[in-house]
Amino acid sequence: METDLRLESSLWIGNKRYRAVLTGWHLKWTEADKKNGDKKTVSVPVAEVVGVENGRVEILPQKSVEDTDKDFTVFYIKRSRSRSTYGLLWSLGRTQFSCPSRVLRDQWTNHLRTALKTHSPLRPHRLLVFINPFGGKKKGREIYHSLVAPLFELAGISSHVIVTERANQARDHLLKKDLTGFDGVVCVGGDGMFSEVLHGLIGRTQQEAGLCETDPAVTLQPCPLHIGIIPAGSTDCVCYATVGVIDPVSSALHIIIGDSQPLDVCSVHHASTLVRYSVSLVGYGFYGDVLAESEKHRWMGPLRYDYSGTVVYLSNRSYAGIVQYLPADPLLSSPKDKTRCLSGCNVCSRSTERLFPHTSDSGSLYSSHFSQYSNDSEGEWVSVEGRFRCVSITCMSSSCARSPLGLSPSAHLADGTGDLILVWDTHPLSFLKFLYRHTSTQDQFDLPFVEVHRVKAVRFSLPDGREEEVHEGIGELNRAIEEREYVDTVSRNGSQQQLAQSVVERETMNEHKTVASILCGLCCKKTPAVSVWNCDGEILPFTEIFCRIHGQLVRLYARGIEDGAAMQNCSQESDKNKSRCITYK
């Protein structure tokens, strides 16, 4: 809805005269000296104005300022399509305006700056930035200083930058240090770096609330600080799934304008221990084996995943297990409804109302309504037992450049549920068909050996007697794994300090044997009895786990995937509350 007109005058861009109008919500300019039919209007939402500067200013690739009395420059978000990605790329648009007088120039810049404050209440002022200098191609520092810092400076954001010197430094900082005055935390790196920040912020929030995060029955408190991701890793899946592109400038612009995307988080427990948090994949069987295998070939770089995928596929394994799950309300959505969770998703918005029933303004979501956070009432658990090629739980579509629709194309980012995908033992060619469908638009769930369920919690256990089998004949391998510093890998950016205490110590030895048996299978070509869990790219030290989905536990500086086609479809609908979830082909 447009508010009252705020400012209108003639302005010049180059030697052309324009009629410029600033309403509460939009800055528009229309060429004045053209016939009505030929007039084109450029309209920029105030919420997407990045900054307003006096004079004729450029920012990228280098800052230059021509300080003139009658000019001002407006920076704003421009969108373009990228052939290789599903979402839209954002870049910095710039228009230099000339006014007839300095007084009018000052009026424009003051009005625009006031409009920005009024209409973008979630814009950050101060950010804590962690850069992993070793993530991906080791370009984190360069990416931040050349592409991101100039944009933050333009937007008036001050940042405290920490270049990490060791794994888990960001997590430990967030758990222990004073965070007063920060609006958000930015990680420059890949999914591992994001995971560190996720664990640190969730842990800190629960500490301050006096909640015991290890207890799976406890309803965790949402984090008050937003997380921004500047992609600079070798795997940037969380960024891809929440922004739609892997592009540091797009991500920086989402941070600057204070976009806010809630995200569900899955807590993974073993007995009374919190093992890890996950946002994308908790996978047993194929995905666990591929990760375990790839750890042996780190020297190959990202190619190790292709290599390990082939090795594991050829070893043709399935695993026995008991899966119990708590289904989500089928009336709200379904993993097979062929919709996509896109920016402004209606299912997620309705979930916000359900999870935080007394909140009307998302900006105040975490400040004043903690006590209103309500848990869905428990339903009936369902139990299945058999042999599985893989068991996967995902809180989001987990789309990535290789699998543009992801593991579960209709999963939602913030509806308080996860999707449980069960792939029963099947012929190798049928399993290959399932895997191949992830790279195309064919429905990977439309296969007789695949089940998918929308769930709130999942429990996985081994059939009686399996543990015995696991522990046979693995003494040698245990030693080999210790040499490979497996223990370090597991705890590298894993659970909080307080989690891995006595229970872990006692059980870890047994569980290492489980992992050993996997690696044993791969080296000795003997089929192991159990697989391992791959939790967002880390191997879990336990086989029997309990997973619970926590609705909208964190917020990212993102807005979900913007899709041009979807926006066009929706703009043709008259209903104000239309769904932004479109049908995919």
Ligand X SMILES: Nc1ncnc2c1ncn2[C@@H]1O[C@H](COP(=O)(O)OP(=O)(O)OP(=O)(O)O)[C@@H](O)[C@H]1O
Tell me how crowded residue 165 is: count the other CB atoms within 10 A of its CB.
8
Q: Tell me which residue of 241, 57, 73, 63 sits closest to 146, measured CA to CA.
A: 63
Pairing of strands 418-424, 382-394: antiparallel
- C-beta closer to ligand X: residue 159 or 234: 234
Active site residue 289: no
Pairing of strands 226-231, 184-189: parallel
| Binding region for ligand X (CB under 6 A) out of 66-74, 120-128, 184-192, 403-411 | 184-192
- C-beta closer to ligand X: residue 3 or 497: 497
Write down the least CB distance from residue 537 to ligand X, Å. Answer: 5
Q: 421, 435 in Cβ contact below 8 A?
A: no
- C-beta closer to ligand X: residue 161 or 167: 167
- C-beta closer to ligand X: residue 107 or 234: 234
Residue 318 binds ligand X (CB under 6 A): no
Write down the least CB distance from residue 235 to ligand X, Å. Answer: 5
Distance CA 424, CA 391 (A): 9
Helix (H, G, I), strand (E, B) or coil at 75: strand
- Tell me the residue type at 303: L
- Tell me the residue type at 160: H
Please tell me the count of residues contacting ligand X according to CB under 6 A: 22
- C-beta closer to ligand X: residue 239 or 423: 239
Q: Tell me which residue of 444, 445, 323, 429 sits closest to 386, measured CA to CA.
A: 323
Question: Omega of the bond prior to 61 within 30 degrees of 0, cis?
Answer: yes
Helix/strand/coil (H/E/C) assignment for every residue in 9-26: EEEEECCEEEEEEECCCE
Candidate residues 51, 87, 124, 136; the one interacting with ligand X per rule CB under 6 A: 136
Distance CA 327, CA 422 (A): 14
Helix/strand/coil (H/E/C) assignment for every residue in 126-183: EEEEEECCCCCCCCHHHHHHHHHHHHHHHCCCEEEEEECCCCCHHHHHHHHCCCCCCC
Candidate residues 73, 96, 164, 261; the one interacting with ligand X per rule CB under 6 A: 164
Residue 165 binds ligand X (CB under 6 A): yes
List the end-to-end C-alpha distance of the chain, in Å, as a whole number. Answer: 33
Q: Which of residues 75-134 bind ligand X (CB under 6 A)?
A: 132-134
Q: Does an H or E element contain 201, and which?
A: helix 191-209
- C-beta closer to ligand X: residue 155 or 291: 291
- C-beta closer to ligand X: residue 302 or 564: 302
Residue 233 binds ligand X (CB under 6 A): yes
Write down the least CB distance from residue 294 to ligand X, Å. Answer: 10
Candidate residues 51, 135, 528, 560; the one interacting with ligand X per rule CB under 6 A: 135
Burial status of residue 53 (CB atoms within 10 A of its CB: 0-12, 13-18, 19 or more): buried
Residue 167 binds ligand X (CB under 6 A): yes
Site string (464-503) toward ligand X, x via CB under 6 A? ----------------------------xx----------
Residue 537 binds ligand X (CB under 6 A): yes
Candidate residues 189, 321, 418, 494; the one interacting with ligand X per rule CB under 6 A: 189
Distance CA 398, CA 406 (A): 5
- C-beta closer to ligand X: residue 276 or 459: 276
β-bridge mates for residue 458, sequence order: 325, 547
Residue 585 binds ligand X (CB under 6 A): no
- Tell me the residue type at 105: R
Write down the least CB distance from residue 135 to ligand X, Å. Answer: 3
Write down the least CB distance from residue 287 to ligand X, Å. Answer: 15
Residue nearest to ligand X (CB): 190
Residue 242 binds ligand X (CB under 6 A): no
Write down the least CB distance from residue 232 to ligand X, Å. Answer: 7
| Binding region for ligand X (CB under 6 A) out of 230-238, 411-419, 478-486, 548-556 | 230-238
- Tell me the residue type at 507: E
Residue 521 binds ligand X (CB under 6 A): no
Q: Which residue among the candidates 71, 183, 191, 563 is catalytic per the annotation?
A: 191
Q: Where are the beta strands (DSSP E) in 373-449?
A: 382-394, 418-424
Residue 51 binds ligand X (CB under 6 A): no
- C-beta closer to ligand X: residue 189 or 406: 189
Pairing of strands 158-163, 319-327: unpaired
Angle, CA of 75, 78 and 80, to the nearest 5°: 160
Q: Which of residues 274-313 bind ligand X (CB under 6 A)?
A: none
Site string (409-448) toward ligand X, x via CB under 6 A? ----------------------------------------
Candidate residues 48, 71, 183, 196; the one interacting with ligand X per rule CB under 6 A: 196
Q: In degrees to the nearest 10, what's the CA dihedral of 408, 410, 414, 416? A: -80
Residue 231 binds ligand X (CB under 6 A): no
Residue 191 binds ligand X (CB under 6 A): yes
Candidate residues 234, 461, 489, 510; the one interacting with ligand X per rule CB under 6 A: 234
Q: What are 138's two structure tokens?
A: 């080791």
Q: 200, 173 in Cβ contact below 8 A?
A: yes
Residues of this chain that bind ligand X (CB under 6 A): 132-136, 164-168, 189-193, 196, 233-235, 492-493, 537
Annotated catalytic residues are: 191
